[in-house]
Structure 1
Amino acid sequence: MIDYTDGEIHDVVVKELRKFSDRRGWLIEIYRSDELPEAYLPTMSYISETLPGVARGPHEHVDQTDTFGFVGPSTFRLYLWDRREDSPTAGRRMIMEVGEEKPAAVTIPPGVVHAYKNVGPKPGWVINCPNRLYAGEGKKEPVDEIRHEDDPESPFQLVD
């Protein structure tokens, strides 16, 4: 089992997001095609709601890059583990809090295991803009996902 050390992970893009507010409400740009490498550009998007105390993941992708938008209305603890053998940060773990108080877009390349947990007091929303279609064109291909959350021996544990 790998003993992960804490620190930044190569190729993970963390972008603090700016909220533009006016009398109608607010707007946040999650990604722009002129700010991400072409290989990371999204092909679809979805939004999910996660209840307080609930985690999603850890899991990883072989080919897919995820660009998550954490904008609230809650706070998430995001966990990342670099298990790419050819990465200069292989064996590194990143943990950060993002969401309502600290909006961020986080781009996670293939081979980086990821999970997030709603650590706030209310349901929170996460927008994902992956660069691959879920289950491929027409949902006819295998899902690109390796799940670790049901393995009690997994090195990818969510610590508080």
Structure 2
Amino acid sequence: MFSKLLITPTAIHDVFIIEPKVFGDERGWFAESFNADDFSKATGLDVQFVQDNHSFSSQWTLRGLHYQVEKTQGKLVRVVAGSVFDVAVDIRKDSPTYGKWVGVELSAVNHKQLWIPPQLAHGFLVLSPTAEFLYKTTDYYHPQSEACLAWNDATVGIEWPLPAGVQPNMNAKDASGLSWDAAPKF
């Protein structure tokens, strides 16, 4: 643990839960959401972020599982309003955790962030009435090489926290994601 960040490894190699130190009093709180030096010292990674993204979604919206085959993106993700169930899937053939997934609740209350290295599929399900999701990427959006792994692929077997009888709200691209066998891997 580094003094400003609590780093927790996950079941997937190189995926970390990051918890910044939150300073609070009767007025509210303050947290440093990103510091390149602290991130590097705490994780051992030297990453350069080139793009910040911000999305707003309603409850039970499912986005993903996205990745880029070219110009792969590492992502540092967090939630600033509401809560989501955030998922990363390891699609690196040479990884000891190939084919595995990890899910973490990220919320405006718990301040947790998730580091997802390049070459992993990523998605999230909105748990609260609405959520604002922010993420930094290590490369630019490259729509020509974007791929989408099916959110409900039986081989991967993600246990999404959907209430019985509730279907996720998705766009056409996410609803028609590729099966594990058909999805490009690294």
TM-score (norm 2): 0.66
Q: 1:117-153 CA deviation, whole Å, 9 max, x = no partner?
A: 1111x31111111011224xxxxxx554212348877
How many pairs align?
145
Give 1:78's aligned amino acid.
Answer: D
Match of 1:148 in 2: 149
C-alpha distance in structure 1 between counterparts of 2:109 and 2:151, whole Å: 31
Q: 1:67 aligns with which of 72, 76, 97?
A: 76
User: Unpaired runs of 5+ in structure 2?
Assistant: 1-9, 162-186
Aligned to 2:141: 134
**Equivalent-residue separation in structure 1 for 2:86 and 2:127 (angstroms):** 10
2-structure distance, mates of 1:96, 1:151: 17
Q: 1:29 to 1:93 in 2, by over 3 A?
A: same
Task: Report the CA distance between 1:90 and its aligned residue.
Answer: 1.4
- The structural deviation recorded for 1:45 is 1.0
Q: Percent sequence identity over matched residues? A: 23
The separation in 1 between residues aligned to 2:92 and 2:151, in whole angstroms, is 21
Q: Secondary structure at the match of 1:125?
A: strand
CA distances 1:64-123 after superposition (whole Å, capped 9, x unpaired): 11111223x211111221121111221221112111232112111122111111111x31
Which secondary structure does the structure 1 equivalent of 2:51 belong to?
coil
| Separation in 2, partners of 1:13, 1:57 | 19
Structure 1 counterpart of 2:172: none
CA distance in 1, matches of 2:146, 2:157: 15
Matches within 5 A, 1:36-55: 36=40, 37-38=45-46, 40-55=47-62
RMSD (Å) for aligned C-alpha atoms: 2.6
1:11 aligns with 2:20: no
Partners of 2:100 and 2:156 within 8 A in 1: no
Tell me, yes or no, if the aligned pair for 1:19 and 1:28 is still in contact at 8 Å: yes
| Separation in 2, partners of 1:152, 1:88 | 20
- Give the whole-Å Cα distance in 2 for the aligned partners of 1:152 and 1:12: 21
Distance in 2 (CA, whole Å) between partners of 1:30 and 1:87 is 29
Structure 2 residue corresponding to 1:101, chosen from 109, 119, 128: 109
Instruction: Say if 2:66 and 2:147, in contact at 8 Å, map to a contact too.
Output: yes
Tell me if structure 2 keeps the 8 A contact 1:64–1:144.
no
Alpha-carbon distance in structure 2 between the residues aligned to 1:50 and 1:148: 20
The 8 Å contact of residues 18 and 29 in structure 1, kept in 2 or not, is answered as yes
**Cα distance 1:16–1:150, how it changes in 2: closer, same or farther (>3 A)?**
closer
| Partner residue, 2:160 | 159
Q: Distance between the aligned counterparts of 1:146 and 1:154, measured in 2?
A: 17
Structure 1 length-normalised TM: 0.75
Structure 1 stretches lacking a partner, 5+ long: 1-6, 136-141
